[in-house]
Amino acid sequence: MNHKKLLLKSLVVLGLLALGGNVFAQSDTTRGKGNSFFLNFGGNLGGSSFVEKSVLPYKFGGLTTDIHGGFTDEWKRCHIQHDFGWMHNLLIEPTGSAHYFYADLEFLYSCLKPSAGRWHFWTGASIGGFMDLKLISDLQNAQTTISIFGVASLEELVQCDFAYDKKDNTRPWLTASLRVSLPVFAFGSRPGFAYVQPPLNDESVMELLTRQNEPVNKWFPGYSYDLGLTLNLRNGNRIAFGHRVDLFSTGKKGAYRYDRATRSGYLTFMFKI
């Protein structure tokens, strides 16, 4: 439970820093003018479920906590965002844990002029990857497995701004958003068998864990979306929170089948630089 307490304390400290003595007033940030650069830090809390035929014949899952960071760069009609993070899953049955390391880079372009009104439509693409490390002592010689994937996705974002002055919507105090991500192609490496062979002479730990991995390619392996709200603070900082759903699957065929479904609530603090 220590990592949960650390996550909670970190989010409280980040929240106080983001507020900086300001109340939720009209933001000093003007949408669509100049360049805005933010450093992002936050966390998630939710649940995950897995299907891994190369590890277990049945579905398993547990509680999920996440720590993430990155940056957001907004320049006129362009939006660039980089995210990286670590997700920890406390598995209930079988007993163990799953560690999920990820990173991605996203580019969006505004379909409308940023100051055209309260509604904003963005379209673009992202590239990223993740590594799934499972440590399940109940599985004995298959207690450690590693999966690695690279993913290329299409991205769509819809935003609606709310400002105190209805005639001037370039300084919103609140932004509601719907983000949809559609992975187009994924490629990676997955364990092909539910056991690990004895190590060979002079074989490293990574070679041992990935020697029996098989290549995996999949078109349209899933989807993700999130519904969120962003508070635009008077000091230029932002606080974003909402609900996220993420589904990834290599399909139902093959001993290397890998399914992951995650639902979580997120909280992100964005510090303007």
What is the CATH classification number for the domain harbouring 209? Answer: 2.40.128.100
What total of structural domains would you count in the chain? 1
Average pLDDT over all residues of the chain: 80
pTM: 0.79
pLDDT tens-place string over residues 206-253? 665 666 677 888 999 999 999 999 999 988 899 999 999 999 998 876
Domain that holds residue 144: 2-272
Whether residue 178 has pLDDT greater than 50: yes
Return the HEC string of the chain: CHHHHHHHHHHHHHHHHHHCCCCCCCCCCCCCCCEEEEEEEEEEEEEEEEEECCCCCCCEEEEEEEEEEEEEEEECCEEEEEEEEEEEEEECCCCEEEEEEEEEEEEEEECCCCCCCCEEEEEEEEEEEEEEEEECHHHHHHCEEEEEEEEEEEEEEEEEEECCCCCCCCCCCEEEEEEEEEEEEEEEEEECCCCCCCCCCCCCHHHHHHCCEEEEEEECCEEEEEEEEEEECCCCCEEEEEEEEEEEECCCCCCCCEEEEEEEEEEEEEEEC
pLDDT tens-place string over residues 13-65? 555 555 554 444 444 455 555 678 999 999 999 988 887 766 666 677 788 88
